[in-house]
């Protein structure tokens, strides 16, 4: 029924309308700068990975925008993604860049960054606040030349002093994911009001400068009077295309377009930011949210529940054409969604126990009976990308793995594990028999109808969540666990408690979805690196701490060709899948969207972003025909 609880957004959408954190800003990528080998370095208008920039220095706009798009109207959406401290079901703070609090969706819209991405290219950044960047030949020093016209919303200049303040405060006091991404930042020093010099550590990853270029820029003067590392219900001062408008804590927040936004005519912005108002309405219950959409409370909806998509879009507004339904393609990697096991807990230390749990989920039955056959089984951490491992290791992979052979399970060098395919009965006896054998091989014992762990304690599992959307999918999984004598239950807690527990790793199993991007790099360390396995608020939800994975990620961050990166990622995928840290779920290579017929959009979408909030616009002629009150 539910396809994607925590969807992955594009770089452009995330930068503007999510939290500005790792995976919620400009994604952290591997980087090769357009700089020659001259000792003096070279200036460039952008940054690129493994190849040249697609756009020249004098480009006028991105290819996926409509330069004639009018400004006006509003779009109303339901928050659907977390990240950092952002909570998609409620909010109590506008500070989304620290660990504390439940952050509001969309705050990234009010802040600018040095550079932004082109959603037609997998890995590029072009100048926003920075009109160009000088790169030293050794790629340790970068001078960003700022646009002198850059302004905060109160009219004060945005200068290199603000950039330096922002980078330093985020590294020192920001959300752990941000602080980790900036660990290779040696210094950020203003050389003039319009020049910021960034120096990286000699051992930096090649992605480090992208982490710098994608961070939000705060006003140093504003935070001279306000505390940065505290929650706040006062909208902060920004410089971006939107500012916080009306709001009701926990219920809705509206962002108002800044009519005199200093950067509105820049090539990276023209044809975008077309809505006068972008409003997020919060609903803790999905059924209530769907009824609200039917009533026109919000006007755009991405559907993540297959049963709703298949059976409930038969209301009057759909039949008479006032509500449109579309399936929009997605060329991005599909991301990784699953039930993730917390291996910090003793009960999940043994790989055989973790593998046994995987045998208890009958995807074929679930897909047919609950999800209307709309989904495909996820098998890889790099699903639907060239980095996905298959079969036995290729010679190039064996060469990468060879130095670590003594530290790796033999299974890494065999066919990569794939989830079992069931007979579709919901209780496949062969799968359950294998699960039982694995559990007993790991030292579990039977006590009547109950299964005991090797230490003699009852085997109990809690599936933790903040809503019940996945309960129908988890229930048959739990039934199979119960058949083996495992006491499993599905527990829903309020969003604040869920955040507190997950931030502190107080769970057995949680559901999550994340993407490693078109060019995996720094994000792999955030989701699988031992350095962050025990850092509160870490994205490493399973607690993976494998020195071989750490070493391979370090290699991935330094290779100079996409081919090498691909083979390293396939090796990482093998090791992760052999580790059975999760029970993989499902995926769908498209977006199921429904919207009231109030909007128009460019003739084509970007390759890696459907661009709803950034490139669509309010169509007054269509709105007049729809007659939706309040819109």
Q: What is the pLDDT of residues 491-506, one digit of tens each?
A: 999 988 999 999 999 9
The pLDDT value given to residue 279: 97
> For residue range 352-377, what is the model confidence (pLDDT) as tens digits?
999 999 999 999 999 999 998 888 99
Residues present in the chain in total = 631
What does pLDDT average to over the chain? 90
Q: What contacts 606, CB < 8 A, 6 or more positions away?
A: 10, 12, 62, 64, 119, 120, 615
Mean pLDDT value of segment 274-297: 93
Average pLDDT rounded to a whole number, residues 501-515: 93
The 3-state DSSP class for residue 29 equals coil
SS percent in the chain: helix, strand, coil, step 5: 30, 20, 50
**Is 221 buried (19+), middle (13-18) or exposed (0-12) by CB count in 10 A?**
middle
- What confidence tier does 141 reach under pLDDT thresholds 50, 70, 90? very high
Distance CA 158, CA 193 (A): 9
pLDDT at 51: 67
Percent of the chain with pLDDT over 90: 75
Per-residue buried b or exposed e for 10-43, using 16+ beta carbons within 10 Å of the residue's own CB = bbbbbbbbbbbbbbbbbbbbbbbbbbeeeeebee
**pLDDT over 50 (residue 1):** no
Does residue 21 surpass a pLDDT of 60?
Answer: no
Q: In the prediction, which pLDDT does 334 show? A: 67
- Is residue 585 scored above 90 in pLDDT? yes
pLDDT of 252 higher than 90: yes
HSE, CB side, 13 Å, CA atoms: give it for residue 205.
25
More confident residue, 57 or 33: 57
Give every CB contact of residue 417 below 8 A, 6+ residues apart in sequence.
411, 577, 578, 580
More confident of the two residues 467 and 161: 161
Q: Where are the domains of the chain?
A: 21-61+109-221, 336-587
Cα–Cα distance measured from residue 126 to residue 342, given in angstroms and rounded to the nearest whole number? 39
- Tell me the CATH class for 336-587: alpha beta
Tokens of 538: 């870490």
Q: Which of 518, 516, 517 is nearest to 529 (CA)?
A: 516
Is pLDDT above 60 for 387?
Answer: yes
pLDDT at 630: 78
pLDDT at 13 over 50: no
pTM: 0.80
Instruction: Write the pLDDT tens digit of every residue in 23-36.
Output: 333 333 333 344 34
Mean pLDDT of 518-524: 84
pLDDT at 48: 82
Q: 130 vs 56, 204, 237, 477, CA distance in Å?
A: 16, 22, 19, 51
Q: What is the pLDDT of residue 10?
A: 34
Q: Tens digit of pLDDT for each residue in 535-553?
A: 998 999 999 999 999 999 9
- Write the DSSP symbol of residue 407: G
Identify the DSSP state of 606.
B
Residue 401: what pLDDT?
98
Scan for tokens 């990240």, then name that residue: 83
> Which of the residue ranges 12-16, 367-371, 610-614 would you say has the lowest mean pLDDT?
12-16
What is the percent of the chain where pLDDT is above 70? 93
Mean local confidence (pLDDT), 468-497? 95
Fold observed for domain 21-61+109-221: D-Maltodextrin-Binding Protein; domain 2 (3.40.190)
What DSSP assignment string belongs to 306-319?
A: HHHHHHT--SHHHH
- Where residue 518 falls among pLDDT bands split at 50, 70, 90? confident
Residue 219: the pLDDT is: 98
Which pLDDT does position 89 carry in this prediction?
87
Band (pLDDT 50/70/90 cuts) for residue 508 is very high
In this predicted model, what pLDDT tens digit does every residue of 293-351 receive, in sequence order?
999 999 999 998 888 898 999 999 999 999 999 998 877 776 789 999 999 999 999 99
Region 276-298 average pLDDT: 93
């Amino acid at each position: 029924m539910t396809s994607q609880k925590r969807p992955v957004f594009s770089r452009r959408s995330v930068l503007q309308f999510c939290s500005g954190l790792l995976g919620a800003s400009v994604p952290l990528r591997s980087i090769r700068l357009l700089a020659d080998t001259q000792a003096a370095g070279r200036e460039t208008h952008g940054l690129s990975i493994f190849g040249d920039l697609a756009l020249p220095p004098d480009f006028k706009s991105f290819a996926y925008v409509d330069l004639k798009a009018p400004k006006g109207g509003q779009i109303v959406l339901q928050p659907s993604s977390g990240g950092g401290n952002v909570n998609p079901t409620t909010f109590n703070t506008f500070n989304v860049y620290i660990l504390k609090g439940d952050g509001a969706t969309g705050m990234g819209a009010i802040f600018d960054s040095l550079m932004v991405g082109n959603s037609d290219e997998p890995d590029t950044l072009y100048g926003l606040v920075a009109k160009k960047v000088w790169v030293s030949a050794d790629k340790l020093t970068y001078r960003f030349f700022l646009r002198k016209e850059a302004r905060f919303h109160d009219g004060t200049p945005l200068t290199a002093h603000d950039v330096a303040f922002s980078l330093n405060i985020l590294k020192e006091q920001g959300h752990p994911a941000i602080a980790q991404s900036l660990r290779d930042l040696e210094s950020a020093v203003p050389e003039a009001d319009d020049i910021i010099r960034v120096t990286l550590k000699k051992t930096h990853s090649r992605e480090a400068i992208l982490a710098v270029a994608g961070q939000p820029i705060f006003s140093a003067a504003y935070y001279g009077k306000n505390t940065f590392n505290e929650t706040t219900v006062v909208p902060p001062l920004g410089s971006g295309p939107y500012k916080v408008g009306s709001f009701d804590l926990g219920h809705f927040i509206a962002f108002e377009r800044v009519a005199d936004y200093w950067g509105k005519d820049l090539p990276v912005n023209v044809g975008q930011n077309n809505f006068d108002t972008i409003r997020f309405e919060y609903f803790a219950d999905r059924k209530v949210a769907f009824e609200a959409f039917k009533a026109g409370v919000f006007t755009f909806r991405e559907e993540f529940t297959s049963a709703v998509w298949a059976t409930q879009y038969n209301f009057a507004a759909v039949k008479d054409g006032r509500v449109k339904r579309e399936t929009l393609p997605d060329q991005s990697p599909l991301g990784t969604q699953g039930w993730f096991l917390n291996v910090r807990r003793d009960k999940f230390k043994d790989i055989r126990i973790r593998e046994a749990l995987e045998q208890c989920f009958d995807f074929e039955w679930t897909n047919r009976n609950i999800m209307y056959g709309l989904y495909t089984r996820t098998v890889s951490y790099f699903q639907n990308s060239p980095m996905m491992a298959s079969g036995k290791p290729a010679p190039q992979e064996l060469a990468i793995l060879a130095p670590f052979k003594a530290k790796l399970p033999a299974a890494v060098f065999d066919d990569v594990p794939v989830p079992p395919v069931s007979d579709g009965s919901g209780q496949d006896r062969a799968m359950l028999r294998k699960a039982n054998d694995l559990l007993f091989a790991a030292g579990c014992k039977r006590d009547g109808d109950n299964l005991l762990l090797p230490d003699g304690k009852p085997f109990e599992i809690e599936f933790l969540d903040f809503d019940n959307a996945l309960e129908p999918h988890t229930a048959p999984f739990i039934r199979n666990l119960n058949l083996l004598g495992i006491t499993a239950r599905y527990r829903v807690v309020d969003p604040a408690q869920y955040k507190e527990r997950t931030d502190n790793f107080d769970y057995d199993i949680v559901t999550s979805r994340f993407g490693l991007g078109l060019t995996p790099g720094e994000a792999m360390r955030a989701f699988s690196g031992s350095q962050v396995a025990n850092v509160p608020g870490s994205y490493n939800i399973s607690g993976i701490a494998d020195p071989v994975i750490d070493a391979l990620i370090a290699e991935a961050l330094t290779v100079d060709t996409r081919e090498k990166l691909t083979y390293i990622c396939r090796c990482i995928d093998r090791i992760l899948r052999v580790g059975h840290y999760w029970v993989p779920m499902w995926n769908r290579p498209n977006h199921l969207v429904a919207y009231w017929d109030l909007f128009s959009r460019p003739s084509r979408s970007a390759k890696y972003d459907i661009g709803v909030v950034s490139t669509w616009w309010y169509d007054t002629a269509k709105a007049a025909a729809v007659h939706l009150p309040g819109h």
